Amino acid sequence: MDWELPGSHRYVHRMAATPLVPVQLAAGEPAIWCKLEFLNPSGSTKDRIARYILEKAWRQGRLQTGDRVIEASSGSTSIAMALASAQIGVRFLAVMPEGVSNERVLLIRAYGGDVRFTPKADGIRGAIAEVERLGREPGTFLPRQFSNRDNADAHRLTTAREVIDQIPGGRVDAVVSGVGTGGTLVGLYHGFAEVGCRLIAVHAKPVNLYGDADAECCSYSARIPGVADRISEIFREDNLPGLLTLEVNDEVAIATTRQLMRLGFPVGPSSGLNFAAAREAHRRLGRPQAQVVTVFPDRMERYFTTELFQPYLA
């Protein structure tokens, strides 16, 4: 993706395509094609949406020097927005509920962003309400990742195109992705529409069917950060004809993540979830030569103080 900015920040910044590599957990197992999104500049796939959303806003004059970008996210999106804001030369504020792991707060501050906490009891809704309140002030820009179509467009125009260029023979049988905001899945769905492969959404089991139905955000899995544990209202199957879903036990997702780490893939829990689902999709396709694609969204260092590393505490 070329990134050209006008005015005092005139430069072109090219974001390299992330590698697409075949990954096998053991000899004799089918290889799954994995997109190494943890190799993006700030360590997650969210660099794509941060750049795309901020660049578009800049080009259209909705974001200008001196402005402040404000997002309600405790996760990878805030880290990526902090970096993209620093590169453009605008300020960034992350609003998040108290109690977020320190790794994330430190990364946001290292990229020059500020962090504001909202009461833990108010959850992500409290953070979103605070962002909307702050966003009424002049000189602010709200990316609103949960409701912004540009989130999915970033993946349609970059992630999907890269995979189609990279995969041998240009042939893809199935694409598998977890759902947080749904941006990755919806973008891949539309990006692969002409390829004619299957699209599979992954949910973390146990599925929380009674979760808080909030159109602005998802009900997140307790053990797989960033991934929804129920079918989101915004991205129901009937909006995406032919979309299949798979559920993966969160225990299996975490065990798979630890296996991937030992194979040399320094990934977070949602990568284990995606990989486990991709193997199941490959099994169901029933053809050894089937080419199944999934993504490794972020890096393991974000989870040092979480359950993922619990067994390794002395």
Contact footprint for ligand PMP (CB under 6 A): 75-76, 178-185, 225-227, 268, 270, 297-298
Q: How far apart are CB 260 and ligand PMP at their closest, in Å? A: 14
Q: How far apart are CB 5 and ligand PMP at their closest, in Å? A: 25
Euclidean distance between CA atoms 15 and 307, whole angstroms: 32
> Measured from the CB atom, is 39 or 285 closer to ligand PMP?
39
Rg for the chain, CA atoms, rounded:
19
- Please name every residue paired with 203 in a beta bridge, in sequence order, or none if there are none: 247
Give the residue closest to ligand PMP by C-beta: 226
Q: How far apart are CB 288 and ligand PMP at their closest, in Å? A: 28
> Measured from the CB atom, is 254 or 290 closer to ligand PMP?
254
Euclidean distance between CA atoms 216 and 232, whole angstroms: 10
Q: How far apart are CB 185 and ligand PMP at their closest, in Å? A: 6
> Measured from the CB atom, is 172 or 227 closer to ligand PMP?
227
> Measured from the CB atom, is 118 or 181 closer to ligand PMP?
181
> Measured from the CB atom, is 74 or 291 closer to ligand PMP?
74
Q: How far apart are CB 268 and ligand PMP at their closest, in Å? A: 5
Q: How far apart are CB 184 and ligand PMP at their closest, in Å? A: 3
> Measured from the CB atom, is 124 or 290 closer to ligand PMP?
124
Token pair belonging to 255: 């065990």
Distances (CA, A) of 235 to 183, 222, 291: 9, 20, 25
Q: How far apart are CB 217 and ligand PMP at their closest, in Å? A: 10
> Measured from the CB atom, is 76 or 85 closer to ligand PMP?
76
Sheet containing strand 244-249, edge to edge, reads: 20-23, 32-35, 292-295, 174-178, 198-205, 244-249
- DSSP character string of 232-276: -STT-GGGSTT-EEEEEEHHHHHHHHHHHHHTT--B-HHHHHHHH
The CA-CA-CA angle for residues 264, 252, 28, to 5°, reads 55
DSSP strands (E only) in the chain:
20-23, 32-35, 68-72, 91-97, 114-118, 140-141, 174-178, 198-205, 244-249, 292-295
Neighbours of 262 (CB within 10 A): 8
Query: Phi/psi at 167 (nearest 5 deg)?
Result: -75, 135
Q: How far apart are CB 40 and ligand PMP at their closest, in Å? A: 12
> Measured from the CB atom, is 261 or 285 closer to ligand PMP?
261
